[in-house]
Amino acid sequence: MFRTPCASRQTGMSLLETMVALTILLITSIGIMTMATLAMTTTEDQGHLLARAAEYAQDKMEQLIGLGYCDTSTDTTVFPAASSGGTGLGPVASCPGSPTFLLPATGTIYGSSDPSAPGTGYVDYLDKSGNPLAIVGGVAPSNWFYIRVWKIETPNATTNLKRISVSSKVRSSVGSPAGALPQATVVSWKSYPF
């Protein structure tokens, strides 16, 4: 049998060529995995945590909107709300219909919509599952994950009108600590007699 010189050569890839191909594949995979990690972190922070913060702010807003315009004593820092011992929708001297009807001066603000500076009686805390936590002695519970703060104000040049702002913020995010923490704010108006 006659053999040609070409038939005796081996065909295929050498070990060196395989190692180079695997190195290129590894470098590409690391880049893609970094992007995937960033995408998952962003989804968790901006998707899950921000959605929960918005949901909890809306829950508090619904609770506050359900109070009477002249309610000055309902404690909304606990769940279910207690009929006394709280701030309600902020102090009023008296309510419409009383002989000495007097609303707070326009421009009056009660509470705060800044989670880093909550107003006493206008803040509550939730755990990771959204369950309310008790505030003991005016000190925030150590295991809180969401903070909700609210502000009640009577805007300038208005009569029988209150603006309610509720902000909810997450204690820590999944991503890098340098980023802004997810926070949601909802605003509504309440007028007398509604």
**Nearest Cα residue to 124 out of 102, 141, 103:** 141
Within 8 A by CB and 6+ apart from 154, the residues are 103, 104, 105, 106, 107, 108, 161, 162, 163
Model confidence over 124-172: pLDDT tens digits? 999 999 999 988 888 899 999 999 999 998 887 777 788 999 999 999 8
Collapsed DSSP state (helix, strand, coil) of residue 111:
strand
Distance CA 125, CA 187 (A): 19
Residue 121 predicted with pLDDT over 80: yes
Q: What pTM was estimated for this model as a whole?
A: 0.73
- What are 40-43's contacts with CB under 8 Å, separation 24+? 41/174, 41/175, 42/175
Task: Work out the pLDDT band at 108, boundaries 50, 70, 90.
Answer: confident
Asked whether the beta carbons of 10 and 135 are under 8 A apart, the reply is: no
